[in-house]
């Protein structure tokens, strides 16, 4: 399965996606025999910290639903609060409807969806956006799949404040933080795609760095690994360019050393 090739870890998420895919596949087979198969509710909530694969899985889900014939286009529209909610009266509805129109036939992925609702601000127009979303999720669910994403505790509070929205979301997928071995595997996958590799010493250095970084604020799982490897590529290039007289071998151009991982 594509998920196993593209994503490290996330076993419960992969299982849930497989279950959804199996249901849709069987429903299609039932329809060919004239058996009733009403369209299932496919709206979802993805919870987890940044960099745990939520957007990647949403893209794969859009493609899966398109290939199985449940979506007309299978594209993904990524939106956040500022794309949907306006600051002045009368502007939120057209703004929200414009995004929904772009997403029709595909998946609308709303990141940090809990920010749509601000109970402490009586002049906030987020509730207007939520009301429109709920109406479309109910009445046009054959044309659009909505995926709400964010931290688990904040999404729980969001649903407590908006039970109507909660009732429209059928599938909840929780994306756990990666452990250090999974982060290293993710890094190896990224390097393989760009024809780089870590020397044994560089791999040990990266492991130590990630073990420390995971305990610090603003760590973003796979996103932080990607950023560090981008920095390593910059240091690697600077190290090679500092010795322009040397004839670089193919291995020189591919191998990252400890000094590339950490200056």
Least confident of 66-70, 205-209, 257-261: 66-70
Please calculate the CA angle 31-21-164 and round it to the nearest 5 degrees. Answer: 90
Position 62 pLDDT exceeds 70? yes
Residue 2's pLDDT band (boundaries 50, 70, 90)?
low
Average pLDDT (102-125) is: 90
Residues listed for the chain: 263
% of the chain residues with pLDDT over 90? 78
Position 240 pLDDT exceeds 60? yes
The mean of the pLDDT values for the chain is 92
Q: What pLDDT, in 10s, does the model give residues 6-41?
A: 788 888 999 998 999 899 889 888 988 989 877 889
DSSP lists the bridge partners of residue 174 as 47
Q: What pLDDT, in 10s, does the model give residues 119-168?
A: 777 678 899 999 999 999 999 999 999 999 999 999 999 999 999 999 99
Residue 96's pLDDT band (boundaries 50, 70, 90)?
very high
Residues 6+ positions from 1 with CB-CB distance below 8 Å: 14, 18
Residues 6+ positions from 123 with CB-CB distance below 8 Å: none
**Of 74, 140, 130, which is closest to residue 107 (Cα–Cα)?**
74
Contact 208, 263 (CB under 8 A): no
Least confident of 25-34, 106-115, 173-182, 218-227: 25-34
**Of 21, 58, 240, which is closest to residue 146 (Cα–Cα)?**
58
Position 1 pLDDT exceeds 60? no
% of the chain residues with pLDDT over 70? 97
The owner of tokens 């025999």 is 33
């Amino acid at each position: 399965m594509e998920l196993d090739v593209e994503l490290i870890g996330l076993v419960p998420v992969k299982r849930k996606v497989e279950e959804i895919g199996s249901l849709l596949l069987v429903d299609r087979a039932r329809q060919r025999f004239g058996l009733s198969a009403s369209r299932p509710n496919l709206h979802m909530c993805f919870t987890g910290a940044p960099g745990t694969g939520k957007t990647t899985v949403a893209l794969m889900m859009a493609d899966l639903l398109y290939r199985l014939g449940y979506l007309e286009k299978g594209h993904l529209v990524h939106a956040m609060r500022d794309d949907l909610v306006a600051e002045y009266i009368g502007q939120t509805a057209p703004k929200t409807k414009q995004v929904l129109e772009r997403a029709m036939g595909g998946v609308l992925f709303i990141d940090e969806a809990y920010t749509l609702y601000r109970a402490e601000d009586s002049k906030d127009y987020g509730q207007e956006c939520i009301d429109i979303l709920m109406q479309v999720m109910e009445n046009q669910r054959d044309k659009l799949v909505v995926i709400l994403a964010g931290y688990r505790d904040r999404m729980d509070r969001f649903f407590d404040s908006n039970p109507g929205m909660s009732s429209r979301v059928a599938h909840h997928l929780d994306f756990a933080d990666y452990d250090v071995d999974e982060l290293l595997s993710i890094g190896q996958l990224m390097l393989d795609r760009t024809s780089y590799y870590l020397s044994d010493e560089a791999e040990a250095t990266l492991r130590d760095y990630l073990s420390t970084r995971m305990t610090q604020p603003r760590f973003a799982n796979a996103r932080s690994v990607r950023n560090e490897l981008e920095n390593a590529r910059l240091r690697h290039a600077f190290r090679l360019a500092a010795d322009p007289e040397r004839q670089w071998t193919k291995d020189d151009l591919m191998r990252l050393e400890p000094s590339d991982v950490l200056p």
